[in-house]
Amino acid sequence: MHITINTKIQHYFDLIIVLTQKEIKVRYKNSFLGYFWSIAHPLAFAFVFFIAFKVIMRIQMEDYALFLIAGLFPWQWFANSVNAAPMLFIGNASIIKKVNFPRNIIPFAAVLQDMIHFILAIIVIIIFLFIYHKTPSFSWIYGIPILLSIQFLMTYGVSLIISSLNLFFRDLERLTNLFITLLFYFTPVIYSETMIPEKYKSIINLNPLTPMMISWRNLFLDGRLDAFYLMISLSYAIILFGVGYIIYKKLSWRFAEVL
């Protein structure tokens, strides 16, 4: 029994590696610039928002470019994973029909490869820190793994929900893109949570991404982790993962039937 369990775990681990490698290869297939494209999108958005808010509207915030970079990169990880979620099972229909394996490994691998891209993009954040005469904090050593784990769990949970439901409600793909766009502006990524009027702060905290993005920015810019935001983020992550797994388990037996 012990050997069988170990063999299964090893098999699933190998499958995750293979699927993650496949996702990365598909993403960069026939792409000459490769890694550059994983950082180009948030950098382009940072440039646009910097011009709009700092140059034109003259927002009163020091190091605004660095502020934007510290929020846009973790946001991009979440947005990329969730926007891709509706097509994950559909895009792997041939594997699902032919091979017997836990289907939830597919969104797991997709979120994992987006996390890897985010980790590589931290290099850009470090460069911007040096540009603004700052340095990475010692707290990054434990802070980054903690936040990576929480955001991975949260993003994986949301991806499970969307990828499972989209097999039965195909309009969810378009609704997801719209939802992510709206959620971006309701999340303090391009503005600080301190700029939100007091009467709306309780509402903004209902957004699971709010404490997550604040935590990333506090860590990158100030080297600190707020226990309050960490606990809220972890609570949201556990709830979203729990809901996602329940939905997946309820619907997974019909996947091959509807694909």
Q: Where are the beta strands (DSSP E) in 59-172?
A: none
In whole angstroms, give the CA distance from residue 189 to residue 213: 7
For Cα atoms 90, 118, 173, give the angle at the middle one, nearest 5 degrees: 25
Residue 175 DSSP SS3: helix
The pTM score is 0.89
Closest by CA to 106, choosing from 135, 80, 86, is: 86
Residue 100 DSSP SS3: coil
Per residue of the chain (259 residues), give pLDDT as tens.
444 656 666 766 777 777 777 666 666 565 555 667 678 888 888 889 989 888 888 888 888 999 999 999 999 999 999 999 999 989 888 888 777 778 899 999 999 999 999 998 999 999 999 999 999 999 999 999 999 999 999 999 999 999 999 999 888 988 999 999 999 999 999 999 888 888 888 888 889 999 999 999 999 999 999 999 999 999 999 999 999 999 999 998 888 777 6
Q: Where are the domains of the chain?
A: 2-258
In whole angstroms, give the CA distance from residue 250 to residue 33: 41
Closest by CA to 163, choosing from 104, 114, 113, is: 104
